[in-house]
C-alpha cells in the first residue's frame, strides 16, 4: 500500500515505529509531485531539503528518540506563508525569488511536529481570486478534470492533496479560499475561527479576515493538522489565548442530539440543483444518525458579496502599499545593483489585473467623500451578518450549507466576468465576515464526476463541534 494513501495519524505511527522510513515517504511524495507537474500545483519543490530532513528523522528514530505527531508526513505550504528555506512569492512577479528571514509561526509548528515540508504551492496573486487563474505563474489545474479550475486562492494546496502529492497542506482563507477549493477538489478544508491560528508570517491580504488552515483527504487528518498549528502566538496581536481542545478525539463523538441549522437563504437561485440535492442528502444522513435538523433564517446573507468586496479591497489597498519595489522584490535577489533600475524593473513586472482592480476599488471606497457611503456602511452590514450568526447559534449547534454554488468550472470561463467570479464565494463569505469556524468536506459527485462540498459552520472556537459533525458526515457518506 502507498504511504500516501494512509491517514496522517497512521503514516506518522508507522514512521515513529520504524515500519516505514521517512526517506521512503519523502521519495514517494517527490516522485508524485514530479509525475504530476503538469497540474502546476507547486511553485517551488524543496527536494534536497526534504530528503535531508527525512534522513534526520530516520536517524533520530534509530537513536531511540521520540518523533512528533506529524513524523515523516509530507505537507505542502501555500506560497503566501513565509519560509526560511524556500522562496515566498505569494503568486506575484513582484516577490519572485524573495526569501523571508524567518518562518511563519504555522510553518515553525509543522517543523517542530516533524513534518516534511516538500514545497510551496501555487496560488492566486496575493490570495486574490476564486479560481487560481490569477497566479503570475500560470493557473493550477483540477486533477479530476484538467480543463477545469481547482478553486482559489489556495488551489495549489488543495490540488497537492487531491492529486496524492502530499497528505496535507496549509492554505489561507480570507473569504473562502480554503473551503471553496476543498469543495471543488474533493478534499477537507478548514477555516478556523479568527484568532484560532497565528497569522504571523502570512503575507496579508485583508487582515481582519485572513486565517490559515489545513487541507487533508479525511476529517481526522485535518483535525491533527489543526491541532498542531492552533494556539496562542504572542507575535500575533489577534491571536486568541483560548485553549486548544483535542480535535482528533472530537472526530469520534456522536451527533445524536446536536441541532443542525439549515438556512434556506443558502438554497436560492444560482445553486446548481445537483449540488442542492447532494447537500440535502448529506443533511438527511445526519438526521438519520440522530441529529435534529432545524430550519433557520440568515436574512443578511444576500449582502455578503457586496460587503466583503468593500471591506476586503479597502484592507488590501492598505496592505499592498508596501510592495513598491524598494522594500521587497528584485532588490533582494541582486544586492548592490542600481536601485533605481531595479525599482523600475519591479514596477514594470507589476501587479496582475485582479490585484490592480481590487487595489483601485479599495482606494476608492476609502477616499474622501466615499468612506461613509461605502466602507462605513459595509462595516454596519458586517455587524448585521455577525448578528445573524449569533441568533442562529442560539437555536442550533452547527449550520449546514453548500460550499460552492457550482462544481469546478472550465478554465477561462469567468476570467472576463469578475462579478461571476466573485459569486463563486457567495456561500463562504458570510462566515468569514463573522469570524466563525467553518469547513468543507466532500459529500458526493456530479453526473460529470466532479466533487461536491458541504460547508459546516460553528460558533467561534467551536472547531471541535465542527469536526464531530464533519466526521459523522464522512462516515455516513462512505
Taking CA atoms, 384 is separated from 191, 333, 379, 395, in Å, by 21, 47, 9, 17
Handedness of CA 390, 395, 399, 401 (dihedral sign): negative
Q: Is 177 a catalytic residue?
A: yes
Alpha carbons 219 and 32: distance in angstroms, whole number: 23
| Catalytic entry in 29, 78, 93, 432 | 78
| Catalytic entry in 154, 157, 177, 198 | 177
Q: Is 153 a catalytic residue?
A: yes
| Catalytic entry in 153, 239, 317, 404 | 153
Bridge-based pairing of strands 188-191 and 168-173 is unpaired
Hey, which residues are catalytic here? 78, 153, 177
Amino acid at each position: 500500500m502507498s504511504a500516501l494513501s494512509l491517514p496522517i495519524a497512521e503514516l506518522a505511527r508507522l514512521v515513529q515505529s520504524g515500519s516505514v522510513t521517512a526517506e521512503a515517504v519523502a521519495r514517494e511524495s517527490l516522485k508524485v509531485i514530479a509525475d504530476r507537474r503538469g497540474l502546476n500545483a507547486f511553485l517551488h519543490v524543496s527536494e534536497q531539503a526534504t530528503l535531508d530532513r527525512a534522513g534526520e528523522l530516520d536517524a533520530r528514530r534509530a537513536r531511540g528518540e521520540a518523533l512528533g505527531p506529524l513524523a515523516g508526513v509530507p505537507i505542502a505550504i501555500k506560497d503566501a506563508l513565509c519560509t526560511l528555506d524556500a522562496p515566498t512569492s505569494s503568486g506575484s512577479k513582484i516577490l519572485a525569488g524573495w526569501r523571508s528571514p524567518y518562518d511563519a509561526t504555522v510553518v515553525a509548528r509543522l517543523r517542530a511536529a516533524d513534518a516534511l515540508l516538500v514545497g510551496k504551492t501555487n496560488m492566486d496573486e496575493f490570495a486574490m481570486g476564486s479560481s487560481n487563474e490569477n497566479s503570475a505563474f500560470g493557473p493550477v489545474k483540477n486533477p479530476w478534470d484538467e480543463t477545469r479550475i481547482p478553486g482559489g486562492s489556495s488551489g495549489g494546496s488543495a490540488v497537492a492533496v487531491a492529486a496524492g502529492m502530499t497528505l496535507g497542506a496549509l492554505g489561507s482563507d480570507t473569504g473562502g479560499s480554503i473551503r471553496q477549493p476543498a469543495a471543488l477538489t474533493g478534499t477537507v478544508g478548514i477555516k478556523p475561527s479568527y484568532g484560532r491560528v497565528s497569522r504571523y508570517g502570512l503575507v496579508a491580504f485583508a487582515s481582519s479576515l485572513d486565517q490559515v488552515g489545513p487541507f487533508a483527504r479525511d476529517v481526522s487528518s485535518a483535525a491533527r493538522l489543526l491541532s498542531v498549528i492552533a494556539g496562542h502566538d504572542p507575535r500575533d496581536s489577534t491571536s486568541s489565548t483560548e485553549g486548544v481542545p483535542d480535535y482528533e478525539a472530537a472526530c469520534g463523538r456522536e451527533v445524536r442530539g446536536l441541532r443542525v441549522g439549515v438556512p434556506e437563504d443558502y438554497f436560492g437561485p444560482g445553486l446548481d440543483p445537483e449540488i442542492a440535492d447532494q447537500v440535502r442528502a448529506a443533511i438527511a444522513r445526519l438526521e438519520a444518525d440522530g441529529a435534529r435538523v432545524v430550519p433557520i433564517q440568515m436574512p443578511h446573507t444576500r449582502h455578503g458579496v457586496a460587503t466583503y468586496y468593500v471591506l476586503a479591497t479597502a484592507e488590501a489597498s492598505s496592505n499592498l502599499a508596501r510592495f513598491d519595489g524598494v522594500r521587497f522584490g528584485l532588490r533582494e535577489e541582486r544586492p548592490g545593483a542600481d536601485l533605481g533600475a531595479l525599482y523600475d524593473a519591479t514596477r514594470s513586472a507589476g501587479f496582475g489585473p485582479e490585484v490592480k482592480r481590487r487595489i483601485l476599488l479599495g482606494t476608492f471606497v476609502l477616499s474622501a467623500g466615499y468612506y461613509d457611503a461605502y466602507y462605513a456602511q459595509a462595516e454596519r452590514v458586517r455587524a448585521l451578518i455577525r448578528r445573524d450568526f449569533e441568533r442562529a447559534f442560539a437555536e442550533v449547534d452547527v449550520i449546514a450549507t453548500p460550499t460552492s454554488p457550482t462544481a469546478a468550472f472550465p478554465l477561462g470561463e469567468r476570467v472576463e466576468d469578475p462579478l461571476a467570479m466573485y459569486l463563486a464565494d457567495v456561500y463562504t463569505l458570510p462566515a468569514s465576515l463573522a469570524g466563525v469556524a467553518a469547513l468543507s468536506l466532500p459529500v458526493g459527485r456530479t453526473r460529470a464526476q466532479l466533487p461536491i462540498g458541504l460547508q459546516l459552520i460553528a460558533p467561534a472556537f467551536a472547531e471541535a463541534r465542527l469536526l464531530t459533525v464533519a466526521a459523522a458526515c464522512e462516515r455516513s457518506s462512505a
